[in-house]
Amino acid sequence: MKSQSIHNEDFENNDTDIQLQEVVDFSDEETQLAASSDELQIDEHENIDDACADAETVACANAYDSLDRPALLDVLEKLLNEKPVQNLKGEAEAIKVAFYKKIAVEQEYLRREFVAQSNSAEPFIMPDDGLEARLKELFAKYKKLRAELAEKQEQEREANLALKQAVIEELKHLLERQGDFNVIFNDFKQLQLRWRAIGAVPQPRQKEVWDVYNYNVEKFYDVVKINKELRELDFKKNFELKQLLCEKAEELLLKEDVVKAFHELQKYHEQWRDIGPVAAESREPLWERFKGVTTQINKKHADYFEQLKVEQQNNLSLKQALCEKAEELHATPILQVKEWNEKTQVLFDLQKMWKTIGAAPRKESNKIFRRFRAACTTFFDNRRTFFSEQKVEQQQNLQQKLELCAQAELLAESDEWKKTTDELVKIQAQWKAIGAVPHKQSDAVWKRFRAACNKFFDRKKEYFSTQDTRYDENLKKKENLTGEIINFVASDNPSDNLSAIKDFQQRWSEIGYVPMKHKERLQKEYRAAIDALFETLHVSAADRQLTSFKARIASSSDNGGKQIPHEREKLEQQLKHLKSDIQLWENNIGFFARSKNAEKLVQDVRNNIEKARHDLLVVMQKLDLLNSVKNKPTNT
């Protein structure tokens, strides 16, 4: 099935309301349309008596809904090989409907995946797995079996016609026989049994052959001198049977389902024909009674379909009007997001109205639905193209905001309070002027930017709230600690050396603020001393980071652990960003690999991935450290 879903494409955006909150379900119409191709239509051979097809379709529907498409085809193939073809219609129809419902579900899932992962404006096309072709092959086999059965049953009906004509000839000869009445009457009854045992005859000859048979049966009763008591007994029995049929037919007048009542009546007529004659004085009244009920039921049946025809024609007119309105929606170019949202809601309302309208005439039903679906598809194709272009703009906005995040993060560590404050205020104004970004990145990029700004202003607030005369004392402590680090002599035990470094880092972190004019110098001297010590001990950059981090966390824990939640949030953001970057780079390799002379670009991306994975491992180790601090029992 190559058709596209009729409802809207998903498009996520945090700044503009372009997501519909509901979707109109057209799966039934789509399934009916897909299953109505000539290759899948079952020929309604009037000579084939399908066994309870409608009831069987309903009964099988739930069971088949639980099977996947390959399993459905396996079941159909097995049925064709093992079950009489006249008993297959209900199950075959149920399998066909279930098959296309599965396609509709799979197509919708794959379409959403395509929209989510692809930036292409090209429409989604359902991949062909060959299963639909196999279904059509199985239905071709099924139709061939039905055609063969129809031919066989027609031959049987011709044979039945010859048998019934033979019974009529014997009945005629019986009228001319002389002899023992009981023998003649017994032969007559045997002929009646043979007649009833013979199957159907060709439809065009059915009434003709029955009229001849019935004429000779009545003639037999009139001409042959039958025992009056026996004749009356037979007439009475036939009268009771026909009277019962009249009562059953009259009960059909009370049925609400006039179509079902009509079909039941046809069965009663067949039974009426097989019952013998009644007494001459009762024949006409009894037949008039039965015929009168038949006339009423036939009229109700005809009125029902006439009314249905009028209703369906009205439904067709209403659906044509909806098609015209849907076609008008995409006739005029739409250039604004707000207008797209308004027109989309209008189309969605049209779709909901469509679902409330009943069926159109069968020959027009698929045609009018194709027209409406085409109008909706064109509208949503245009909408998808518009928002695909919007996505490009949003990606550009995202890149601008990421650059502002990087700038803010650089400024977050600055101690130039006045200058940095002015720069951050300017950056925040630029942020507000930039348009929307893709919804999936919106929250993350905003949190990243806000975290950088908050970090600086929190530091600034803390700095100006804690200045006191202890700065000079802290200056001396840090200078002494830096000298102690420079003069440290490493031992032969690496563990002891690392413990000493951790102690230096923790002591440094525990010392409070120093005068601003000495801060940068002290930090450089301390960092140079620590780096030199690490170089001497041949400690890797990652181990340095972890060692420094452990010291900082230990110091924070001793001071109440107020900074730990902030550290955890920062690390979780880093972890999220690194994973996102790795995924993006890995996806990009596939695009770059198809380009000519892209070896260097691919290698650069691989280097970025390798470094990001290394950084990811360090961040995860830091988070483990934070978790161990959180779970560590406290002394009371």
Over range 521-539, report the average pLDDT: 78
| Mean pLDDT (the chain, rounded) | 78
pLDDT of residue 4: 33
Instruction: Give the structural domain span for 538.
Output: 457-631
Q: How confident is the model at residue 5 (pLDDT cuts 50, 70, 90)?
A: very low
Choose among 224, 218, 242: nearest CA to 186: 224
Torsion over CA of 76, 38, 364 and 58, rounded to 10 degrees? -10
Q: Please compute, for residue 242, the number of CA atoms within 13 A of its CA located in the half-sphere on the CB side.
A: 24
Number of H helices and E strands in the chain, helices first, is: 20, 0
pLDDT of residue 636: 32
Both tokens assigned to 241: 């049977």
3-state SS string for 159-195: HHHHHHHHHHHHHHHHHHCCCCHHHHHHHHHHHHHHH
Alpha-carbon distance of 508 to 479, in angstroms, equals 10
Torsion over CA of 399, 401, 405 and 407, rounded to 10 degrees? 80
496 C-beta neighbours (distance < 10 Å), count: 11
User: Is 468 within the bounds of a domain?
Assistant: yes
Is the pTM higher than 0.85? no
pLDDT of residue 7: 36
Lowest mean pLDDT among 220-229, 296-305, 498-507: 220-229
pLDDT of residue 557: 55
Alpha-carbon distance of 588 to 586, in angstroms, equals 5
Choose among 41, 269, 273, 45: nearest CA to 154: 45
User: Is 407 within the bounds of a domain?
Assistant: no
User: Is 594 within the bounds of a domain?
Assistant: yes
pLDDT in tens, 60-79: 556 677 788 888 888 888 88
User: Is 304 within the bounds of a domain?
Assistant: no
Quick check: 571 pLDDT over 50? yes
pLDDT of residue 119: 56
Residue 13: strand pairing partners: 438
Choose among 368, 358, 382, 377: nearest CA to 323: 368
Quick check: 280 pLDDT over 50? yes
User: Which residue in this structure is represented by tokens 């017994």?
Assistant: 186
User: Is 503 within the bounds of a domain?
Assistant: yes
Domain count, the chain: 1
Lowest mean pLDDT among 149-158, 268-277, 544-553: 544-553
User: Is 557 within the bounds of a domain?
Assistant: yes
Three-state DSSP at 13 gives strand
Lowest mean pLDDT among 11-25, 177-191, 256-270, 405-419: 11-25
Quick check: 126 pLDDT over 80? no
Backbone angles phi, psi at 254, to 5 degrees: -90, -10
Residue 416 in contact with residue 519, Cβ under 8 Å? no
User: Is 275 within the bounds of a domain?
Assistant: no
Choose among 198, 304, 226, 199: nearest CA to 261: 304
Instruction: State percent of the chain over pLDDT 90.
Output: 13
Alpha-carbon distance of 350 to 342, in angstroms, equals 13
Backbone angles phi, psi at 508, to 5 degrees: -60, -45
Alpha-carbon distance of 172 to 164, in angstroms, equals 12
pLDDT of residue 426: 92
